[in-house]
Amino acid sequence: MTLGSRPAPPAHNHTSRAYFEHATAPRTNTDAVLVTSLRAEYPNLHLTVVPLTSIDLFGYARAGHAGLAAIDSEKDRLTWRRFIPPATRLEGDTGDLGTELKFGKFLLDWHNTEYILHLADCRDGNSAYPSLVNQYVLSPSVATTNALLLEAGKWTSTLHAEIWVFD
C-alpha cells in the first residue's frame, strides 16, 4: 500500500471526512479545503474564519463568557496527548498530561445565540512553521458573529492574571 492509496480514517460528518482525506495526502491549502467543505455542509449559515492567535474563542469560553460543548464524536476529532513539565520541581512536582486539540467541532452559546465552531490545525507542508490554527464560526447572522468576535477579541488582548515579560 502506498501513501497515496492509504484510506482516510472513517469520519461521520462531511467536514471531518474532508479534513482527514486532505490530511492523508499531499497538502497545499487546508484552509481552502475546509472553507469549501463547510460552505457545502452549511449553505444557509454565514462562515467567518478566525485565526486562534487573533481571537481565542476557546479561552473566552473557558473563562466563563460563553458556553462551549463538543458536538462531534471522538472519531471525528483529532487530538494529541502531551506531557506538561512542572513549573517548578523544587516541591517534587512531576508534571502532568494535557490534550492538544488539532481538529474538532463545537457548539458555542453566547448571549442566547448558538454558533457552530470548528477548530483545525491548518499547517501545510512538512515544517513546523508557520503554525496556523483557525476557528471556523458558522452562524445565521454576520452582525451577531461580529459582536461575538469583538468581545472575544477584547478579552483575548487583555491580561488575565498573567505577567508579560519583555527582553
Q: Say what the pLDDT of residue 125 is.
A: 63
Q: Say what the pLDDT of residue 4 is.
A: 46
- Is the pLDDT assigned to residue 123 strictly greater than 80? no
- Is the pLDDT assigned to residue 115 strictly greater than 60? yes
Contact 30, 124 (CB under 8 A): yes
Q: Say what the pLDDT of residue 92 is.
A: 82
Contact 42, 58 (CB under 8 A): no
Q: Say what the pLDDT of residue 161 is.
A: 74
Q: Say what the pLDDT of residue 74 is.
A: 86
73: number of Cβ within 10 Å: 12
| One-character DSSP codes across 53-75 | TT--HHHHHHTTSSEEEE-S-GG
Residue (of 157, 77, 85, 86) closest to 117 by Cα position? 77
- Is the pLDDT assigned to residue 2 strictly greater than 50? no
Q: How confident is the model at residue 27 (pLDDT cuts 50, 70, 90)?
A: low
